[in-house]
Amino acid sequence: MKKYLLSTTVILISLISALFLTFLLSDSKIKENVVKSIENYDFMDNKKYNLDIDNYTDMIILNVITYNS
């Protein structure tokens, strides 16, 4: 039982540490990539390849990623 508790604790601490480390990364590279992606993003031609793409949700996600709080 102690073995499982210890391994679970180590995994949780590792994941939480990784989460905090991601906040230290610079947002500038992400924003540059979003700007490049939006230039090539096809908003109207969803049915060309019979794909059901949710543009509305994609734009919300891109907005949240690039938002400066």
How large is the average pLDDT for residues 20-45?
77
What pTM was estimated for this model as a whole?
Answer: 0.46
pLDDT range class, residue 32, cuts 50, 70, 90: confident
- Whether pLDDT at 15 is above 80: yes
Q: Angle at Cα 53 formed by Cα 55 and Cα 65, nearest 5°?
A: 45
More confident residue, 8 or 29: 8
pLDDT of residue 7: 96
pLDDT of residue 52: 61
The torsion angle over the Cα atoms of residues 42, 44, 50 and 56, rounded to 10 degrees, is 80
pLDDT of residue 1: 85
